[in-house]
Structure 1
Amino acid sequence: MHNWNDPGGKGSACQADKDRKDATRIAGQLNIPIHIRDFSQNYWDDVFRHFLDEYAAGRTPNPDVLCNREIKFKTFLQAAIDLGAGCIATGHYARIRKHQGHYQLLRGCDPDKDQSYFLHTLGQQQLAQACFPIGDLRKPQVRELARQAGFATYDKKDSTGVCFIGERDFRKFLAHYLPAQPGFILDTQGHPLGEHPGALYFTLGQRQGLGLGGVQGAHQAPWYVVGKNVTHNTLTVAQGDAGHWLDALRLLTSQPSWVAEKPPGKSFLCTAKTRYRQPDQSCQVQVLDDHCEVIFEQAQRAPTPGQAVVFYAEELCLGGATIEATDAAFGGLEAST
């Protein structure tokens, strides 16, 4: 599937061409037909516009989660069914199990590659029409099987980062679509320290690109973004560990989705991740109509509005939700007592 038309003709377009050639070559080796479908308009409408809207609102979205929900397991799935397929097989490191008439989403067996975090919005219908053939394998095993099969891609470099940005500078890419004005960088007392190129280009916990190395009277420890206000176009920063300003015990979330299509209960204990590859964190989830409150046993570093918090019961992915606010110092909720 072709998901992105690169207006600049650089960055991800070159990689997409290579991927298409690789897929065509392997289809030839397997003596199976290849069908190429252009979903770039769907991606623009259903993923990229949301990505821009979230950044414009001062949030930090996760386009991979939305791409799985809206493109791979919706638009692409329907296209495959229209071609006569009974299901789709993807290269995600995750597993599907049918238990007592219901489908469950499980972590991939390779803990370094598990992608269940990005698949937490899938429901029963999508899981019934999907399979993850490499979910029981580790990445070195997958590469070895590809080598034995004679696939030239067996040692292909892993893909990282946001697919439509490629190797480009993220801020320059975002500025092409969301031009911003310079604004003030403030300390935690509200005193100006310098200027930034646009608050929406920064995310919580970020330390690069602030340009505050020579602040008079400050020691040499790094500065971190601990708050941002896109309405007033300001960044708030703290120096040193900054954990006091970034740590949060409580999250308020929206748009909860459940793999079983209902939560385990109105209140339940589980573990959760607020970012990909984070170790599991023990928490309690309170389900409140169309949103959830998540209370962690230990403070979490810089949980960020717009990102996903994903819930687990051991190897089982229960679902997840979008972070709206936290009880961090500038997180929008009153601090925990």
Structure 2
Amino acid sequence: MNSLGLSKRPQDTRVVVAMSGGVDSSVTAAVLREEGYDVVGITLQLYDHGLAVQKPGACCAGQDIYDARQVAERIGIPHYVLDYEGRFSQDVMDDFADSYLRGETPIPCVRCNQRVKFRDLLNTARDLGAEALATGHYVRRVEGTHGAELHRAIDPAKDQSYFLFATTREQLDFLRFPLGGLTKPETRALAERHGLEVAAKPDSQDICFVPNGDYAEVVAKLRPGSVEPGDIVHVDGRVLGRHRGVVHYTVGQRKGLGIGGLRGEEEQALYVVRLEPARRRVVVGPRRDLARSVVTLREINWLGPALPESEGLEVSVKLRSAQPPAAATWSVGPDGTARVDLHEPQHGIAPGQACVVYQGERVLGGGWIAATAS
């Protein structure tokens, strides 16, 4: 059994490494090459890379393609750039725009893993005769009693398990994550030891196809004429101001509303409580109106044990990537949905985000937030 859990010797095992041009995927390729694996590097061109050359920290474009090629030459592996621009535009960017127009707050990185990297690239790896697809994600694949399990990374500050909840069992069987047991400083030290020029390269920031951070501008370009102004309305029905488009807002947002607080006995901060895109309304209110105890999920992906529909499971859930896990009860609905009953109300739960389910370090699965209730 080799270090990837496969029965062949490393030199007889072909592994495709998804190389984004960053330090993490570069170290993944270098470490596997050093161990003797037959490594093939693949970089996906996902969008018009000319936009990203001027933006340090964007992934899968321009400078990053060049960096991936340089790393491949340095460690002596073949490297290919595949044009996935059409698939990425349709499966990720269009979904991103449509989600915002529905009043949701999407996570395109999850969609990219789900619909491009772990589907199309995985199939390409198989076509190349590979026995595994390795990535630089900070997450662990653990062999359990009933097969491969997805676990948090050792380094909680770099753990990316939230973004991989949609990984299927079949995909997990083929995927490998060599960095899951390392910290970021350890990864950078390995890059330096291997003489990789990307050793000090900054991590990718924000969404790769939004080079200036203006999500609404991208939505307007993808869906011309769809971003329309409307009213900012208090939960009690009062019109407080105007907005330039619902896509500029997300549930839980406090800053940038342009309406100030309400003055009574004391000034009361206002938050976006919900979005009503059909009426072009942004509804705001005090923080207490953000509290939610029930979350309904769609597009469920389950990696845990089989559950009867009527049985609840005590779990912890993450409702945003940067939020700490919250205790909850998970139950499966009859129509492919799931219900999450939070033990303590949580604030700022936004439709379109992911709810990822954990038991200890293990990722049990999750789904997309469709609705919430008090």
Shorter-chain TM-score above 0.5 = yes
Poorly superposed stretches of 4+, deviation over 6 Å: 214-219
**Structure 1: stretches of 5+ with no match in the other structure:** 328-334
| 1:183 paired to 2:230 | yes
From 99, 111, 118, the equivalent of 1:54 is 99
| 1:154 paired to 2:199 | yes
Q: Give 1:249 deviation, angstroms.
A: 0.9
TM-score normalised by the chain length of structure 2: 0.81
Q: Give 1:132 deviation, angstroms.
A: 0.4
- SS of 1:320 mapped into structure 2: strand
Q: Percent identity?
A: 34
Q: Give 1:214 deviation, angstroms.
A: 8.5
Q: Give 1:208 deviation, angstroms.
A: 3.1
The amino acid of 1:180's aligned partner reads: V
| 1:206 paired to 2:253 | yes
The amino acid of 2:154's aligned partner reads: C
Distance 1:271 1:214 in 2: 34
Task: After superposition, give the CA deviation of every residue in 1:269-299 in whole Å (9 maximum; x if it has no partner).
Answer: 0101001032111100111121111011111
Q: Give 1:22 deviation, angstroms.
A: 0.9
Distance 2:185 2:267 in 1: 42
Q: Give 1:11 deviation, angstroms.
A: 4.2
From 10, 13, 16, the equivalent of 2:51 is 10
The amino acid of 1:252's aligned partner reads: T
CA RMSD of superposed structures (Å):
2.1
Residue 323 and residue 118 in structure 1: after superposition, are their counterparts in 2 closer, same or farther (change >3 A)?
Answer: same
The amino acid of 2:221's aligned partner reads: H
Q: Give 1:41 deviation, angstroms.
A: 1.0
The amino acid of 1:209's aligned partner reads: G
| 1:236 paired to 2:283 | yes
- SS of 1:204 mapped into structure 2: coil
Q: How many residues align?
A: 324
Match of 2:152 in 1: 107
From 286, 306, 313, the equivalent of 1:268 is 313
Distance 1:184 1:154 in 2: 49
Q: Which moved more, 1:112-121 or 1:39-48?
A: 39-48
Residue 168 and residue 292 in structure 1: after superposition, are their counterparts in 2 closer, same or farther (change >3 A)?
Answer: closer
Q: Which moved more, 1:47-56 or 1:186-195?
A: 47-56
From 105, 119, 126, the equivalent of 1:74 is 119
**Structure 2: stretches of 5+ with no match in the other structure:** 1-42
From 130, 149, 152, the equivalent of 1:85 is 130
Task: After superposition, give the CA deviation of every residue in 1:218-266 in whole Å (9 maximum; x if it has no partner).
Answer: 966543211211111011112xxx3211111111111111124844873
| 1:225 paired to 2:272 | yes
Residue 185 and residue 146 in structure 1: after superposition, are their counterparts in 2 closer, same or farther (change >3 A)?
Answer: same
From 16, 22, 25, the equivalent of 2:67 is 22
The answer on whether the counterparts of 2:48 and 2:85 sit within 8 Å (CA) in structure 1 is no
- SS of 1:2 mapped into structure 2: strand
The answer on whether the counterparts of 1:124 and 1:261 sit within 8 Å (CA) in structure 2 is no
